[in-house]
Amino acid sequence: MRLPGQDRVGRPLLKSGKKPDLTGGKGGAPLKRESMNLKSVISLLGRLVLAFLGAAAVIACTPSAKNETSSPAQAVFEPDPPHVCDFCERLNEPMAPFQVYGNTYYVGTAMISSVLIASDDGLVLINGGMTQTAPRIVDNIEALGFSLADLKLIFNSHPHFDHAGGIAALERATGAEVAASIESAKALEMGHPTEDDPQRGIEDNVFPAVPDVRAVKDGEALAVGDVKITARYMPGHTPGSAAWTWRSCEEDRCLDVVFADTFSTRSAPGFRFTDDPERVETFRNSIAKVAGLPCDILLAPSPLSIDVEAKLKAREEDPETNPFIDPDACRAYAEAGTGRLEKRLAEEASDQ
């Protein structure tokens, strides 16, 4: 794991870019026609000599020069084996990708969110779904007209099989940097949640390990092109849970977008939040923090938790409005989080 401030070493980023023009113009366009006066004859002879010398130099210095004419780097995507669970198929039902606002797009499935941010110099992805979700994400990125090879940065909101499973394959295909909170970076590199994760005792909550994860501090921002994404730690569902925030613009209207992690209290059997009052306090502080974030648009790991389907339907009925814009969304999400946590604590109290 690379701690905040450390540089990435020895792992080149792929850049799809445009195919390098090896012909010196469109199919080796003919030289511009010139009248054949003495000056142009001398100029032409000079160019022929230079071309001859140049070709000789290339042949002398690079005997394998023919290999350099191969096509530019393409992202070759090979998924990891599918995660097996009773509800995995339902989680992974495909969903058509769509623009949320400005440079922000939804590229996940019907039940697991992945969000794409298109900067002016590369793509950023938040969450990779399950292993078998990654091919859906790739299809969705390409259906929107983007190239997978332009993916430069992948964030994770929390390291469980349903949001981290596809990251390893996406990283292999693109060379994109993977970044997460300090606690989540540890889990991503191990391929399973950390010991103090409420779901650590769930045996099949595992995922392909991601090598070399960049750990991001609370409040630290990473930039790709003209987009700056900031980490907002919100421990609760997992010790490393983090929200990611950025700004998206349409013409001159720029809005604050929040990808908040879940406030789910799901845990391994036998785990009790009430056994650790400090953890409960931390969870409550995270809920308050999300409620107070600058937030015009809220996205989250579960599309159900933010009513994606209803919003899409509303937008279809009235294309002039964008129901994803809701300055009250983070507050409402936090309120629902408080409800879940208090319900869980009450259940634990009644189980004693």
Interface contacts to Zn ion, rule CB under 5 A: 160
Pairing of strands 122-126, 115-119: antiparallel
Question: Smaller CB distance to Zn ion: residue 160 or 289?
Answer: 160
The packing angle between helices 167-174 and 134-143, to 10°, is 50
Structure tokens at 46: 């000079």
Residue 331: name the closest of 282, 307, 279, 296 by CA.
296
Instruction: Let me know: does 341 contact 283? Beta carbons within 8 Å.
Output: yes
Which is closer to Zn ion, CB of 174 or CB of 184?
184
Instruction: In angstroms, give the least distance from the CB of 1 to Zn ion.
Output: 20
Minimum distance from residue 156 beta carbon to Zn ion (Å): 11
Contacts of 243 (CB under 8 A, 6+ apart): 157, 231, 232, 233, 234, 258, 259, 260, 261, 290, 293
Please state, as a whole number, how many other Cβ atoms lie within 10 Å of the Cβ of residue 213.
26
Q: Least distance to Zn ion from the beta carbon of 306, Å?
A: 16
Least distance from Zn ion to the Cβ atom of residue 272, Å: 18
Q: Which amino acid is at 157?
A: S
Nearer to Zn ion, 16 or 267 (CB): 267
CB of 346 to Zn ion, least distance (A): 22
CB of 148 to Zn ion, least distance (A): 25
State which residue, 160 or 311, has the beta carbon closest to Zn ion: 160
Q: Which is nearer to Zn ion, 160 or 340 (CB)?
A: 160
* Separation of alpha carbons 173 and 54, rounded Å: 37
CA distance 130 to 133: 5
Closest to Zn ion by CB, 135 vs 236, is 236
Which single residue brings its beta carbon nearest to Zn ion? Answer: 160
Shortest distance, position 113 Cβ to Zn ion, whole Å: 12
CB of 79 to Zn ion, least distance (A): 21
CB burial readout 128-152, b (16+ within 10 A) else e? bbbbbbbbbbbebbeebebebbbbb
Alpha-carbon span 205 to 117, nearest angstrom: 28
The C-alpha atoms of residue 87 and residue 304 are separated, in whole angstroms, by 15
What is the rounded distance in angstroms from the CA atom of residue 267 to the CA atom of residue 246? 30
In the complex with Zn ion, which residue's Cβ is closer, 158 or 232? 158
Per the listing, tokens 């097996």 go with 84
Cβ proximity of 307 and 120 under 8 Å: no
Q: Using only C-alpha atoms, what is the Rg of the chain?
A: 25
Decide whether 102 or 303 has the Cβ nearer to Zn ion. Answer: 303
Residue 281 beta carbon to Zn ion: minimum distance, rounded to whole angstroms: 21
148/210 with CB nearer Zn ion: 210
